[in-house]
Each structure stands twice: as C-alpha cells, then as structure tokens.
Amino acid sequence: MGTVQTAARGMTAEERKVIFASSLGTVFEWYDFYLYGSLAAIIAKQFFAGTDPNTAFIFALLAFAAGFIVRPFGALVFGRLGDMIGRKYTFLVTILIMGASTFIVGLLPGYASIGITAPIILIALRILQGLALGGEYGGAATYVAEHSPDRKRGFFTSWIQTTATLGLFLSLMVILGTRTAVGEEAFNAWGWRVPFLVSVFLLAVSVWIRMSMNESPAFAKMKAEGKTSKAPLSEAFGQWRNLKVVILALVGLTAGQAVVWYTGQFYALFFLTQTLKVDATTANFLIAAALLIGTPFFIIFGSLADRIGRKPIILGGCLIAALTYFPIFQALTHYANPALETAIKNSPVTVTADPAKCQFLFNPTGTKKFNSSCDIARTFLANASVAYTNEAGPTGSVAQIKVGDKVINGYDASGLSKEEAAAKDAAFKKEIGDAIKAAGYPSKADPAQMNKGMVLLLLVLLVIYVTMVYGPIAAMLVEMFPTRIRYTSMSLPYHIGNGWFGGLLPTTAFALVAYKGDIYYGLWYPIVIALATFVIGMLFIRETRDRDIYAND
C-alpha cells in the first residue's frame, strides 16, 4: 500500500474543473435518462396508441425496462474501452450517445405518422440510453477518484453522487416549467417534446467542457509504464480473486444501496401517486422539494466517509432504512390521505378464491396474462389501494369478493367470446368499484386534509437515507479494484445493482401488494435486500478508506 497523502491543502483549480466537468455531464445524462420515465404516460399515447391494448402494454413496459436492463451491458462495453484506451475519451462517447438518442426522441414521429416503426425506434433509442448510462457513471466516478487526494476521495466523488438526484430534479423542473408555459392540452400534443429537444444544448455544453479535460493521472501513469490491461473483461471476471470482489461489491454494497435509492425517490413518488392517490403535480413538487433539501447530504456523508470510513455509513444507511420503512410509509398515508387510512382500518375486504387460480402478479416483461377472476379482482383492488385478506375457496370456484356485507361473485370466462368476456370483466370491476366506494375508499387524496409539511419532512428523511448509502459508494467501489481493470470492475456491480435490483423495485413491490392485499407489503422487497446487504457487507467487505488506488495488484 502506498503512502497516504495528507489533505491539509484546499482544492486546486484543476480539481474543481475535474469535478465540475464530470458532474455536469453526468447530471445531463441522468436528466436525459429520467425524461422517459417522467413522461411515460404521454409517450405511450404518442407511440403505442395504434396497437391493440395488450401489444401497447408490452411495448410500454419494454421501452421503460430496456433502459434499466441493458445498463450492465453498457458497463461491460464501455468499461472495457475505458480500461484499454482511457477514461476521458470513453465517457465523451457515452455522453454523445445519450444526448443524440434523447434529442432524436424529441423529433421522432408518433405512431399516427409512421406506424409500428415509431415504437420500434423508440425502444432502440431507449436501449442506447441505457448502454450509454452503463458506461457513463463508472467513467465519471473513476475519473474523479483518480484525480482526488487520498484523504478527500469520498468528498470529491460525492459530487458525482449528487448527479442522479439533480438529473431527476432537473427533468421534473423542465417538465413542470414547459407544462405551465404551454398549457396541459398543448403539452400533451407537442409540448412534451421540448424537454427532449432542450437536451441538445446541455449536450453541447457537456461535450465542450469534456473536450478540454486531461486524462486521469492514474491511467496516464499506468499507460506510460505499459501496464494497461489487454483483456479487461477476462481479467476482471475470469480470475476468481477479482470476480470474488465484483460479486461482493454487488451483494454486499450496491444491491442494498440500489433498493434504498429507488425506494427513497422513485417508489416514494409511485406510492404517493398510485397508492395514496395524490395528484401528480403536488407529488412531483413535494418530491422535487425533498430532493433539493436532501441533496447537500450527499456531500456531507461523502466527506464524513473520509473521516470514519465508507463501510459504516453505507451499511448503516441500509440498516436504518430497513428498520424504519414501515413506520415512515404508514405515516405518509396518515398525513397524505387520512381518508384511505380510515377506510383500511374500518372496511376490511376479503377475496375468497381457488388458490390454484390466483397467480403471483409479477410481470416485468408484460407478456404474462392474468385472466382469472381472482387475478382480475386482486389487480383491481391493489390499484385502488384497498386492503384485503385472501381466503382459500373450493377447487375450481370463481373468486368471491366481500366488502362489508356486500358479496360480489366473479365469473368464469371459459367458453365466452372476447366481447362477452370483456363485458363481464367491465361489469365485475364496476361492481367492485361501487362497493369499495360505498365502503369509504377515496378515489383520490383530498388536498384539504393533506398535511404537506409532514409529508415533505418524511420525504426528506427518505432522501437522507439515499444520501447515506449513495454518497460514499463511488469512492468505495473505485478503491476496491486495481487501476488496470477499475472502470470495468466497478461499473458492472453498480449497474446490476441499480439497473436490475433497483429498476425492478416498482414491479416487484406491486406484485407483492397484490399478492398479500396490504399496501405496505411491497416494502418487504427493499427491506430484505437492504438487510441482506448489511449482513454480507459487515461480514465480508473490508474498509477501503486508506487504500492506495494507484496500486495495480
């Protein structure tokens, strides 16, 4: 291990430039990536409206999921290039791909103009975005870390950690600003394209800044000595001593970090809008405010990690989050939609059905069909945020839903035409809807009953958990791997953790809620993974704060 540098000096002008240039570009990449998720409903109408409902649903899910699913592959492709030809040029390429893909979405004709070609091109562009993001983060984090003094590496890289949150915040602000400026009708017709088109200016600024940057000193030194890896992939994943560290980085760090990150930002927004029925504008403003208040804590925890270590902060965040998610989300219900809380407490619902006809409603690709009366009823009730208990019915029986004293019988669609089944389905859902409305379940949150101050406070707390697990993790991942395979090795566990464990959180959580009939049951997914990460990390992950990142063994 090399001699640890002292950190008494302040930040140099070159170091400030490195942090600013890397962070600014990464903010814009995250901005581009999040636009699709924020505008998914409008995009679905523009690009999938001409297909039948099932095909449209599959396309919409594929387009959303594609960006998450391909991120690890982007990590492999660009990680290999970054370890072979350099950090600077590789993440210059990633931002060009991301920016161009996003700009083209803003110009892409809809289904009404070019038919099925429109969703196919959209999915291809979304895949390119995911690949680019898979290469961007590892490059930016590695580049900044390799410019950092040893005792300030957590502080320096924490600026990169703010970029995902700032990118989400920026995308929400541009969308809200455009929507307000042009009006809702115009925004749905054409104004949604503006945030995508604006990205070309962000791209130009980022490329101009990054073109003026120098290669990282650690890579430049290694290249001058002729020690760069000729085969980063086989060296990183084909040798057990390196592969073991990659696996531990995934299960002992990034998996838990990812679910805490997605729960504190995306799932919190999903819970407010879909479960608690808070209107989208109010929910977006509250999340944006929480992000703005919480973002400085990335820097605070990154700097703290330089003094007490990365491991206790990251794993401590996983543990605290896992232990407090249930009371926090229950409090969100209490302060955001008290009428729903009352209905859940006073109006229990029971679903009695043949267990063989009740599937686990996990559907990440959109290809599975849930047509039994049990699945239809549970999906409808879960979407309406109704709490229900499941009881086993006789073999072969249709579902029976009991709301208070009201009993609603399902139907068997076998032998019915598509039109007859659709009519039965609509009547079944209407009867359930009328019953739960009569039982006091609100169709939306009442703004007059909402305590926005307390909701904001709870959201800020969730964001602070995010900053604990995310602020120090870039420094720790960089420090876990040798320079010659660092870009490749750190990028893969990061993007598997965040792209797959984190990206699948909303789908998995909904399936768990529908399975159990408890609006909080989906929280078991992040809780179990965060606790597993805590245990594995405590037992097998070593502290890296004093590690010499110039070492190549």
Q: What does 253-312 look like in DSSP terms, one character per residue?
A: IIHHHHHHHHIIIIIHHHIIIIIS---HHHHHHHHHHHHHHHTHHHHHHHHHHHHH-SHH
Residue at 227 is within a domain: yes
Asked whether residue 139 is assigned to any structural domain, the reply reads yes
Q: Same structural domain for residues 460 and 373?
A: no
Contact partners, residue 53, CB within 8 Å, separation at least 6: none
Nearest to 497 by CA among 76, 165, 132, 71: 71
Of 417, 438, 459, the residue that ends a domain is 438
Q: Mark which of 438, 456, 485 sits at the end of a domain.
A: 438
Distance between CA atoms of 483 and 177, rounded to whole angstroms? 43
375 shares a domain with 332: no
Q: 101 in a domain, yes or no?
A: yes
Give yes or no: residues 467 and 414 share one domain. no
Band the pLDDT of 357: cuts 50, 70, 90: confident
Query: Domain with 434 in it: what CATH number?
Result: 3.40.30
Give the pLDDT confidence of 257-294 residue by residue, as tens digits: 999 998 998 889 889 988 899 988 899 889 989 988 99
pLDDT recorded at residue 60: 64
Averaged pLDDT for residues 364-375: 62
Close Cβ partners of 112 (under 8 Å, ≥ 6 residues apart): 49, 50
- In this structure, is residue 178 part of a structural domain? yes
Where in the sequence is the domain holding 411, given as residue range(s)? 348-358+365-438
Alpha-carbon distance of 150 to 141, in angstroms, equals 14
* 3 belongs to a structural domain: no
pTM for the complete prediction?
Answer: 0.83
User: How do residues 4-40 score in pLDDT, each as one tens digit?
Assistant: 343 444 567 777 777 887 787 778 777 877 787 778 7
The reported pLDDT for the residue numbered 450 is: 94
pLDDT at position 10 is: 57
Question: How many other β-carbons are positioned within 10 Å of the β-carbon of residue 278?
Answer: 25
Say if residue 412 is in the same domain as residue 458.
Answer: no
Number of domains in the chain: 2
Do residues 290 and 428 both lie within one domain?
no
Residue after which a domain boundary falls, among 388, 415, 438:
438
Helices (H) and strands (E) in the chain, counts: 26, 4
Residue 552 lies in a domain: no
Number of neighbours of residue 97 by Cβ within 10 angstroms: 20
Check whether residue 521 and residue 418 sit in a common domain.
no
Same domain, 314 and 409: no
**One domain for residues 421 and 460:** no
Residues 385, 246, single domain; the answer is no
Same domain, 425 and 457: no
17 lies in some domain: yes
Mind listing the pLDDT tens digit for each residue in 484-535?
A: 788 788 888 988 888 888 877 877 887 788 788 888 999 999 999 999 999 9
Query: Residue 360 is encoded by which pair of tokens?
Result: 């686990």
Does residue 352 form part of some domain?
A: yes
194 in the same domain as 266: yes
